């Protein structure tokens, strides 16, 4: 059997054809009409008024914070279990991330602990909908409103996931997505900001283009950077967006198949997932401890099946090791979690083989 990696991007003839057509048309490669078309597709899909695409999902989080005026002296609440970019973006704009433990049932911020962590310096909550899951988003919004805080949604993993039918990333002041290679759609690298606030959008637009509002005119109204996209990426992104609805459906089917095939293994557990709303980006499981997890990884690796460890808890990483607190859920999650092969091109037969090997491991 050919090796199955934990995750691979997927593109095909449609992307190749669209790229050839674009290059034949003599486009300027940098962001222009194709980028606007890609942005409109994202806005329409997520149901947001404005979308701006940028270089990646880390930069989009930085721009979101920057546009909200968050910087030196400000605190932003960030979950202790997330991809490190959520916390890094806060540091990179000069603010301070305040790490808060997660709720073990959703792997998202614990809202009671979030409220306890609010201080007079807190300006925003960065809510991360990890793997497309969320708690009651009305409560998240209410908490931010109650304390007069901005809500930035890091929805990097949530394209295609909703809460009660409303797309994740659209509950807060600004939502952020990523199109890095393993995401449900990819442009190689890439990120998007979504908002319903015209003023914020206009700031985002200027920040990503050196601080000017018009690409052709060299007048710089504010500080900015170059975080522009390219039409080359947009050409791929447009074709990937056309496949998104099918991909969302397939991710759900894959998750369900894994869950059904592994349901009788008592040492392995799935997180409660409402597949009506959530389209899990990665197939995630929790094991009883890191020792057994390591043996399973090795066992599968020998059989040509790739897996990936969950992210480390942020406070265990060198740039954040001075942060102390009660992080028991993020620590346990990070020690027990494993991502199984999740590429969209996996067939049901592939998944059956993977699950058979996992079952075999636990029966030994
Ligand atoms: C939750 C989360 N936030 C931010 C990022 C950063 O996105 P990018 O890799 O596009 O910079 C990622 C990437 O995986 C992510 O999963």
Q: Kindly list the structural domains of the chain, giving each domain's residue range(s) and its CATH number in brackets, ordered by start.
A: 13-242 (3.40.640.10), 244-363 (3.90.1150.10)
Q: Mean pLDDT across the stretch 138-146?
A: 98
| pLDDT at residue 364, as a whole number | 86
Compute the distance between CA of residue 175 and CA of residue 64 in angstroms, rounded to an integer: 8
Pocket lined around ligand 1, Cβ cut-off 6 Å: 56-58, 82-83, 85-86, 128, 154, 156-157, 178, 180, 191
Q: Mean pLDDT across the stretch 16-22?
A: 98
Q: Model confidence over 246-269: pLDDT tens digits? A: 999 999 999 999 999 999 999 999
For residue 61, give the ligand 1 atom closest to its CA.
4
Q: Model confidence over 68-94: pLDDT tens digits? A: 999 999 999 999 999 999 999 999 999
Q: Mean pLDDT across the stretch 165-194?
A: 98
What string of H, E and C letters represents the secondary structure of 219-238?
Answer: CCCCCCCECCCEHHHHHHHH
Q: Which two tokens stand for residue 212?
A: 């000017």
Ligand 1: centre distance to CA 187 (Å): 13
What are the CA-CA distances from residue 261 to residues 62, 173, 256, 277, 302 (Å)? 41, 40, 9, 22, 21
Q: Mean pLDDT across the stretch 119-146?
A: 98
pTM of the model: 0.98
Residue whose C-alpha is closest to residue 100's, from 316, 309, 324: 324
Which residue among the candidates 34, 146, 183, 356 is catalytic per the annotation?
A: 183
Q: Which two tokens stand for residue 186?
A: 């990819």
Are 125 and 144 in contact by the 8 Å Cβ rule? The answer is: yes
Higher pLDDT, 190 or 217: 190
| pLDDT at residue 216, as a whole number | 82
Q: Model confidence over 219-235: pLDDT tens digits? A: 999 999 999 999 999 99
User: Does 215 score more than 90 pLDDT?
Assistant: no
Q: Model confidence over 277-295: pLDDT tens digits? A: 999 999 999 999 889 999 9
| pLDDT at residue 1, as a whole number | 74
Ligand 1: centre distance to CA 116 (Å): 27
Percent of the chain scoring above 70 in pLDDT: 100
Burial of residue 78, with CB atoms counted within 10 A of its CB: 0-12 exposed, 13-18 middle, 19 or more buried: buried
Q: Mean pLDDT across the stretch 196-209?
A: 98
Ligand 1: centre distance to CA 203 (Å): 22
| pLDDT at residue 322, as a whole number | 96
Phi/psi for 64 (5° steps) reads -60, -50
Q: Mean pLDDT across the stretch 137-162?
A: 98
Phi/psi for 251 (5° steps) reads -60, -40
Read off the pLDDT band of 27 (50, 70, 90). Answer: very high
Compute the distance between CA of residue 103 and CA of residue 112 in angstroms, rounded to an integer: 9
Helix, strand and coil in the chain, % to nearest 5: 40, 15, 40
């Amino acid at each position: 059997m050919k090796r199955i990696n934990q995750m691979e991007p997927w593109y095909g003839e449609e992307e190749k054809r669209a790229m050839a057509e674009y290059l034949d048309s003599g486009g300027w490669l940098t962001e222009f009409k194709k980028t606007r078309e890609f942005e409109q597709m994202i806005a329409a899909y997520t149901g947001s008024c404005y979308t701006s695409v940028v270089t990646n999902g880390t930069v989009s989080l930085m721009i979101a914070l920057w546009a909200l005026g968050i910087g030196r002296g400000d605190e932003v609440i960030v979950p202790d279990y997330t991809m490190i970019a959520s916390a890094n973006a806060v540091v990179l704009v000069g603010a301070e991330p305040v790490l808060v433990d997660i709720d073990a049932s959703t792997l998202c911020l614990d809202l009671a602990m979030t409220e306890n962590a609010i201080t007079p310096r807190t300006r925003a909550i960065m809510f991360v909908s990890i793997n497309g899951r969320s708690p009651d988003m009305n409560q998240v919004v209410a908490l931010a409103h109650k304390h007069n805080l901005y809500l930035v949604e890091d929805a990097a993993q949530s394209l295609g996931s909703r809460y009660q039918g409303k797309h994740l990333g659209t509950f807060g002041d600004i939502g952020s997505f990523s199109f890095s290679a393993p995401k449900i759609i990819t442009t190689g690298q890439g990120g998007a900001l979504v908002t319903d606030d015209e003023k914020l959008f206009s700031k985002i637009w200027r920040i990503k283009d050196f601080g000017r509002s018009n690409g052709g005119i060299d007048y710089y109204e504010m500080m900015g950077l170059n975080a522009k996209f390219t039409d080359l990426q947009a050409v791929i992104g447009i074709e990937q967006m056309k496949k998104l609805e099918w991909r969302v459906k397939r991710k759900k089917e894959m998750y369900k198949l894994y869950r059904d095939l592994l349901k009788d293994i008592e040492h392995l557990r799935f997180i409660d997932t409402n597949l009506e709303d959530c389209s899990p980006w990665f197939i995630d499981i929790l094991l009883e401890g890191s020792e057994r997890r390591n043996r399973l990884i090795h066992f599968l690796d020998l059989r040509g099946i790739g897996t990936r460890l969950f992210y480390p808890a942020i406070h265990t990483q060198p740039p954040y090791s001075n942060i102390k607190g009660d992080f028991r859920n993020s620590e346990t999650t990070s020690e027990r979690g494993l991502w199984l092969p999740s590429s969209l091109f996996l067939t049901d037969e592939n998944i059956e083989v993977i699950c058979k090997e996992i079952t075999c491991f636990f029966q030994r």
